Structure 1
């Protein structure tokens, strides 16, 4: 059984537009980034405040189909294992049909056994189901969690 965190959303946009919008990380995810996110092998750093960071690489980019970000080194000072996300992958799989898309997001390696899961599950649920979906539909992310 797949214990990785998964969530799916749908929106009335093209797969190419979805790929472009996912790559504009600060428009839908409440983080700061430095670096580039739009092409395969691009590297970027996510900052969530304080000393926290997540070094990411775009390891896969299939136009209109899939984006994969590998988290290399990271530092999450609020958890016992400060590098719990290191080696995990953020996977965005897109299926376009009739002018709309279904997006399936997986945080591969984020499983219920990890300390951060209790915080990350509702966090990802908000950032994907509310904010990214809103950004797809309205052009604006939703930064306040419900």
Structure 2
């Protein structure tokens, strides 16, 4: 049975190599507190979304111009019953360039409709990928104000 992981795609007139590099500049497009490094394979970083929440990441895979995989090694999501819901899930960014346009496919492997945070996280990711990251790709600035999506 296939898991129905959250997925979002965008296209921008940017090289795939530049797109992958820009994704690693987390604070430029994802409105979170960030510490550590996310630019090389095996780098480790921490994201905080307020209060005592945290998400520990490892850059599990990095293929320049093609793919980044971030593994969430630990987390604390105080606003949900399962405070470790994102632990051992993966954020996968895959870039495919064609004629100067790169399509970026984002998958949160493990974020499925049957988990508690999906109702909040899916609209949040939609904003961060389709609005903020796309804006960062095309204008050099992310969009941090969300009109309807919660702060994933």
Give ranges in structure 1 of 5+ residues lacking alignment.
none
Distance, in Å, in 1 between the alignment partners of 2:136 and 2:98 is 19
Distance, in Å, in 1 between the alignment partners of 2:34 and 2:144 is 16
What is residue 124 of structure 2 aligned with on the other side?
123
Figure out how many residues of one structure are paired with residues of the other and give that number. 146
1:144 is displaced (CA, Å) by 1.0
Distance, in Å, in 1 between the alignment partners of 2:58 and 2:82 is 21
1:100 is displaced (CA, Å) by 1.2
Deviations 1:85-128 (CA, angstroms, capped at 9, x unpaired): 00000000000111110000000000000000000000000000
Deviations 1:19-62 (CA, angstroms, capped at 9, x unpaired): 11100000000101110000000000001111000000000000
Deviations 1:120-146 (CA, angstroms, capped at 9, x unpaired): 000000000000000000000011113
Give ranges in structure 2 of 5+ residues lacking alignment.
148-152
Deviations 1:69-100 (CA, angstroms, capped at 9, x unpaired): 00011000000000000000000000011111
What is residue 52 of structure 1 aligned with on the other side?
53
1:2 is displaced (CA, Å) by 3.8
Q: Is 1:36 matched with 2:37?
A: yes
TM-score scaled by structure 2? Answer: 0.95
Q: Please give the root-mean-square deviation of Cα atoms over the aligned residues, in Å.
A: 0.7
Stretches (4+) displaced over 6 A: none
What is residue 88 of structure 1 aligned with on the other side?
89
Distance, in Å, in 2 between the alignment partners of 1:63 and 1:20 is 8
Distance, in Å, in 2 between the alignment partners of 1:114 and 1:53 is 18
Q: Is 1:64 matched with 2:65?
A: yes
